């Protein structure tokens, strides 16, 4: 193996080395953690193997190595300021799942750096967890002197950092880290060799031994497993290989930094002193590119909001420090693609999509940024002396002008040396949420906390859902609460609008995109039968609210009732819900793995599915989607639904939807060999129940987000019938059988084109004739034939044809006023001979417009316009005649 020197060579050397040590080279996971909705981003190589460390994973191998894409926003304030902090980076990792342990991990790490990378051993310093004698002994065996083996507490030598005290729960353990000594003369080079935080040293590889499962504060349970999780910073490793303590200046990052400088219209390393900002922008664009490529879009929530914050910080650097008036960030994207494409080839196809998403975000933010800054600066005198931006100002900037709070903090600190009243901001934010809740209360929303709180106080437990069993449409329950308007009541009678809470019910409460069920609730009331018609069912705090109207009798809290879901409607919903899962899978197969669900609606009459994808789908792609789904429908497999513990479900590889908060128990809905999703909705029993699937529309909902609407079962048949009816109607109108419609329409279009051409020809002939006649009225001015005239009944187009006729008849300059309703279309034309003499049609037309009102303009040889005041026509003719006279001296 020759010594690697480029980023690609390092990636390859890493994988080759660990494969030679019995590892499976495994691909980087997406930045969006696949089975862990609790995590915003993949931030370490071990994330995708979390279950393997706990002994619950499903991989057959016991050793793996990866080059993993990572996003960590925690260090964002240092990014750019130093040469080694990033929000995106790659992590080289090797892992043992209850297989090899400290001895091998340390030996291979040592072998890799000393024999593959050929680093001088004396430059390496290590740290160990304070009482990890085993690691201590291993390092010594490789010849590291004791003075270069430092012991630290869990605060620095545990992973996650200080896990026993601070968490999170899950796999954790002591670690040993490797540092490279760049020697005095770097950054803070005079720091002594004991100060590992100085610029002299760079931590580049962390070897973790996650042998514990943390369950709570200082509650570590031994897993009894020999686990290894190592992570080497890719850019840091390159810096070590370069012998220069500057990960930002390695080949993995330098081209992006240069591109950022170019886009910022500055020089990197020049005299401007802006290098830290250039680095920050470069980092942020790299992060954004990698995020968008993995299906993340800027938004106001979750990881989308992190991406938005990162982008807005970079945009603001461009506006603030570099005074760029136009969107610039997207110009940096191609350098990221070029630098990363060998390792992540999907970037090439996604480049345009990334550019569009980055640009859209910048344009959107720029639209309000200037106003926000003005608002901030206007308010500045009020709080300058206190040194603190008040919470209400921060909130207004956040809410009205789209300044994320950390961006405002940055602006306040960096430009004005002010702090931000963060608690005050939080209070305002909470008040806004409160107002939103109150707003929905005034709108008559039954979810107002009041009545529901009463019902819960009386002991109502979360409604048990009976809808998965049997037909799923019938069940018996007891009324535990009735809400009428803003209060909870003991009974309700015919005509009352109510929301009924039952202890258990087959009615599905709106959620996960699926609409709530409708139907009836019936019972034997004290004074006769009761019947409540339910329009929909909504959920709040685990209680299902059956929203409807009492049709007859009196419904009383405590009474037993039969709840009957409208079965035809439910069945239609089921078909659409299962079809949504199939659609998700078909889209991935046809368009690629970047397709990610962004939202969905499952109703009885249609389904809607929003997903990340950068361009409109072609008719051919849509047809393939339909064909795949209808193929699965015809296969008619049994749908499999299982209820299991969330952890188990994820371990089985089920797709968890992001932003969904799953409880401890989940349902896993699987279509054999097709899809497997965590889902609480109601589904068909066999895939054939869907009947048939048909896309009704494909459109854009936001930049980079497409929407498909589709129908199934009877809905699909109805859509097909509607299409057929339309076709029949068209065929009747065209008086042609439907298979001849296309040729008939083409023939009509040809005919129309001919007619239009004929008309134009006729008009120009008429114009020419009229022109010839009018030409006789032309006078001679300064030796040129000139006509200034009003021509009644000729609109703008006709006036143009007229001028062409006049020109043919030898008139060299003309000013014409036509007639179009109460407007006066004007034209001024001049042949080359007249233009040469100084006649300027555009200027003459302006002379006319000054008299007539209205406007117009054009070139010296031809100008057209429209005047407003027809009574001024004689005056206009006079003015133009004089103007021409002046030019021609006639």
Exposed / middle / buried, residue 468 (Cβ in 10 Å: 0-12, 13-18, 19+) = middle
Query: In angstroms, what is the minimal distance from the CB of 237 to ligand SER?
Result: 13
Nearer to ligand SER (CB atom), residue 44 or residue 113: 44
Closest residue to bound ligand SER by CB? 231
x/- mask, ligand SER, residues 129-168, rule CB under 6 A, reads ------------------------------x---------
Of 139 and 158, nearer to ligand SER (C-beta) is 158
The answer to whether the beta carbons of residues 614 and 704 sit under 8 Å apart is yes
In the complex, minimum distance from the CB of residue 172 to ligand SER, in angstroms, rounded to a whole number: 10
Nearest distance from C-beta of residue 283 to ligand SER, angstroms? 18
Q: Could you tell me if 47 and 30 are in contact, meaning their C-beta atoms sit under 8 angstroms apart? A: no
Q: Which is nearer to ligand SER, 126 or 695 (CB)?
A: 126
Closest CA to 869 of 845, 850, 841, 843: 850
Minimum distance between the CB of residue 205 and ligand SER, rounded to whole angstroms?
9
Least gap, CB of 442 to ligand SER (angstroms): 49
Which of the stretches 40-48, 341-349, 639-647, 804-812 binds ligand SER when contact is defined by CB under 6 A? 40-48
CA distances to 402, 751, 759 from 746, rounded to whole Å, are 51, 9, 20
Q: From the CB of 404, what's the least distance to ligand SER, in Å?
A: 26
Torsion of CA 682, 685, 691, 695, to 10 degrees: 40
Cα 700 from chain centre: 13
Is 139 or 465 the residue whose CB approaches ligand SER more closely? Answer: 139
Least gap, CB of 168 to ligand SER (angstroms): 12
Nearer to ligand SER, 93 or 771 (CB): 93
Output the smallest distance, CB 159 to ligand SER, in A: 5
Looking only at the bridges linking them, the beta strands covering 124-129 and 149-152 are parallel
Q: Residue 193 CB: number of other CB atoms within 10 A? A: 14
Interface region with ligand SER, contact rule CB under 6 A, candidates 5-13, 38-46, 354-362, 500-508: 38-46
> Can you name the residues that pair with 212 across neighbouring β-strands?
172, 222
**Dihedral sign, Cα of residue 332, residue 336, residue 338, residue 344:** negative
Residue whose CB is less far from ligand SER, 206 or 536: 206
- Report the nearest approach of ligand SER to the CB of residue 74 (Å): 12
Residue 213's CB is within 10 A of a number of other CB atoms, namely 19
Q: Percent helix, strand and coil across the chain, each rounded to 5?
A: 45, 25, 30
What DSSP element (H or E) covers 517? Answer: none
Name the residue nearer to ligand SER (CB basis): 170 or 680: 170
Give the gyration radius of the chain's Cα atoms: 37
Closest contact distance (angstroms) between CB of 45 and ligand SER is 5
> C-beta of 518: minimal distance to ligand SER in Å?
50
Number of residues that bind ligand SER (CB under 6 A): 10
Nearest approach, Cβ of residue 26 and ligand SER (Å):
14
Q: If we measure between CA atoms, which residue out of 411, 387, 408 comes closest to residue 399?
A: 408
Our CB check for ligand SER shows the closer of 229 and 517 to be 229
State which of positions 201-240 bind ligand SER (CB under 6 A).
Answer: 206, 208, 229-231
Question: Could you count the other beta carbons within 10 Å of the beta carbon of residue 539?
Answer: 18
Residue 374, both tokens = 């003005």
What are the CA-CA distances from residue 145 to residues 138, 140, 201, 202 (Å)?
Answer: 11, 6, 17, 19
N- to C-terminal Cα separation, the chain: 93
Q: List C-alpha distances in Å: 197 to 77, 231, 377.
A: 17, 19, 39
CB-CB contact of 827 with 777 (8 Å): no
Closer residue to ligand SER, CB minimum distance, 57 or 334: 57
Residue 230: CB minimum distance to ligand SER, A:
5
- In the list 4, 7, 80, 93, the residue contacting ligand SER (rule: CB under 6 A) is 93
Q: Restricting to residues 41-80, which ones interact with ligand SER according to CB under 6 A?
A: 44-46
Beta bridge partners of 69: 90
Say if residues 622 and 698 touch (Cβ distance below 8 Å).
yes
What is the rounded CA–CA span in Å between residue 58 and residue 65?
Answer: 16
* Cβ closest to ligand SER, residue 53 vs residue 248: 53
Residue 461 DSSP symbol:
P
Please report which helix (H) or strand (E) contains residue 810, including its range: none
Question: What CA dihedral angle connects 710, 711, 716 and 719, to 10 degrees?
Answer: -60
Relative to beta strand 504-505, strand 464-465 is parallel
The two three-digit tokens of residue 149, written as one number: 């083996």
Is 465:523 a contact under the CB 8 Å cutoff? no
Indicate the pairing of strand 88-96 with strand 519-525.
Answer: unpaired
Task: Give min distance, CB of 589 to ligand SER, in A.
Answer: 33
Q: Cis before residue 339, ω within 30 degrees of 0?
A: no
Pattern 163-202, ligand SER, x by CB under 6 A: ----------------------------------------
Closest distance to ligand SER from the beta carbon of 336 (Å): 23
Nearest approach in angstroms of CB 174 to ligand SER is 12
Tokens encoding 581: 């899962």
Site for ligand SER in 759-818 (CB under 6 A): none
CB nearer to ligand SER: give 229 or 840: 229
> Can the peptide bond before residue 160 be classed as cis, meaning omega within 30 degrees of 0?
yes
Interface residues toward ligand SER, by CB under 6 A? 44-46, 93, 159, 206, 208, 229-231
């Amino acid at each position: 193996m020759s010594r690697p020197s480029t980023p690609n060579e390092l990636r390859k050397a890493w994988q080759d080395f660990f494969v030679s040590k019995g590892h499976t080279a495994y691909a980087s996971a997406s930045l969006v953690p696949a089975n862990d909705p609790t995590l915003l981003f993949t931030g370490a190589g071990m994330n995708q193997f979390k279950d393997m460390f706990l002994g619950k994973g499903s991989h057959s191998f016991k050793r793996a190595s990866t080059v993993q894409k990572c996003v960590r926003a925690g260090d964002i304030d240092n990014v750019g300021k130093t040469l080694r902090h990033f929000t995106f980076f790659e992590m080289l990792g090797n892992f043992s799942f209850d297989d090899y342990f400290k001895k091998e991990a340390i030996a291979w790490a040592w072998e890799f750096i000393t024999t593959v990378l050929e680093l001088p051993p004396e430059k390496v310093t290590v740290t160990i967890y304070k009482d990890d004698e085993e690691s201590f002994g291993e390092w010594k065996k490789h010849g590291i002197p004791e003075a270069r083996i430092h012991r630290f507490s869990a605060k620095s030598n545990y992973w996650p950092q200080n896990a026993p005290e601070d968490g999170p729960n899950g796999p954790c353990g002591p670690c040993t880290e490797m540092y490279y000594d760049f020697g005095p003369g770097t950054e803070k080079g005079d720091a002594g060799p004991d100060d590992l935080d100085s610029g002299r040293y760079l931590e580049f590889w962390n070897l973790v031994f996650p042998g514990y499962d943390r369950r709570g504060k200082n509650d570590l349970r031994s897993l009894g497993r020999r686990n290894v999780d190592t992570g080497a910073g890719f850019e840091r490793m390159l810096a070590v290989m370069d012998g220069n303590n500057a990960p930002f200046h390695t080949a993995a990052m330098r081209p992006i930094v240069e591109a950022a400088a170019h886009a910022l219209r500055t020089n990197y390393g020049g005299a401007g002193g802006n290098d830290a900002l250039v680095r920050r922008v470069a980092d942020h664009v790299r992060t954004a590119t990698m995020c968008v490529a993995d299906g993340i879009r800027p938004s106001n929530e979750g990881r989308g909001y992190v991406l938005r914050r990162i982008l807005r910080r970079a945009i603001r650097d461009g506006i603030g420090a570099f005074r760029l008036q136009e969107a610039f960030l997207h110009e940096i994207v191609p350098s990221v693609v070029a630098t990363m494409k060998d390792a992540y080839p999907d970037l090439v196809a996604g480049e345009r999509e990334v550019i569009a998403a980055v640009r859209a975000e910048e344009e959107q933010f720029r639209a309000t940024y200037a106003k926000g800054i003005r608002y901030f600066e206007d308010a500045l005198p009020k709080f300058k002396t206190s040194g603190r931006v008040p919470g209400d100002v921060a909130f207004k900037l956040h809410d009205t002008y789209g300044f994320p709070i950390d961006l405002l903090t940055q602006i306040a600190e960096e430009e004005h040396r002010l702090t931000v009243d963060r608690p005050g901001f939080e209070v305002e934010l909470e008040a806004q949420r409160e107002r939103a809740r109150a707003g929905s209360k005034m709108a008559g929303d039954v979810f107002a906390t009041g009545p529901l709180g009463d019902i819960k106080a009386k002991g109502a437990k979360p409604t048990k859902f009976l809808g998965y069993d049997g037909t799923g449409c019938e069940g018996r329950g007891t009324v535990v609460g009735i809400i009428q308007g803003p209060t909870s009541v003991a009974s309700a009678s015919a005509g009352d609008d109510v929301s009924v809470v039952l202890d258990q019910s087959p009615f599905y409460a709106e959620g996960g995109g699926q609409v709530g069920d409708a139907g009836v609730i019936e019972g034997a009331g004290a004074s006769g039968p009761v019947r409540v018609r339910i329009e929909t069912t909504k959920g709040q705090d685990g209680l299902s609210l059956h929203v409807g109207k009492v049709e007859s009798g009196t419904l009383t809290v405590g009474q037993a009732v039969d709840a009957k879901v409208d079965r035809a409607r439910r069945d239609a919903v089921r078909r659409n819900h299962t079809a949504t899962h199939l659609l998700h899978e078909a889209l991935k197969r046809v368009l690629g793995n970047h397709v990610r669900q962004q939202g969905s609606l499952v109703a009885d009459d249609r389904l809607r599915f929003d997903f990340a994808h950068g361009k409109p789908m072609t008719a051919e792609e849509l047809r393939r989607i339909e064909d795949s789904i209808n193929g699965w429908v015809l296969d008619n497999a049994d749908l499999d639904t299982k209820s299991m513990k969330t952890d188990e479900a994820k371990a089985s590889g089920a797709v968890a939807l992001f932003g969904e908060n799953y409880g401890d128990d989940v349902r896993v809905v699987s279509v054999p060999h097709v899809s497997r999703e965590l889902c609480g909705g109601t589904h068909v029993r066999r895939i054939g129940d869907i009947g048939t699937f048909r896309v009704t529309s494909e459109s854009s909902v936001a930049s980079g987000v497409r929407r498909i609407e589709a129908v199934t079962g009877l809905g699909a048949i109805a859509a097909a019938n509607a299409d057929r009816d339309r076709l029949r109607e068209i065929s009747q109108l065209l008086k042609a059988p439907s298979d001849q419609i296309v040729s008939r329409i083409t023939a009509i279009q040809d005919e129309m084109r001919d007619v239009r051409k004929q008309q134009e020809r006729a008009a120009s002939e008429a114009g020419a004739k009229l022109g010839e006649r009018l030409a006789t009225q032309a006078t001679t001015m300064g030796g040129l034939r000139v006509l200034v005239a009003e021509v009644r009944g000729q609109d703008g187009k006709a006036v143009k044809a007229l001028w062409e006729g006049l020109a043919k008849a030898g008139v060299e300059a003309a000013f014409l006023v036509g007639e179009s309703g109460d407007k006066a279309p004007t034209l001024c034309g001049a042949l080359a001979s007249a233009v040469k003499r100084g006649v300027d049609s555009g200027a003459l037309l302006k002379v006319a417009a000054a008299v007539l009102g209205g406007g117009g303009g054009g070139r010296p040889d031809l100008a057209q316009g429209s005047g407003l005041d027809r009574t001024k026509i004689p005056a206009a003719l006079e003015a133009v005649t004089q103007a021409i006279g002046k030019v021609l001296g006639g």
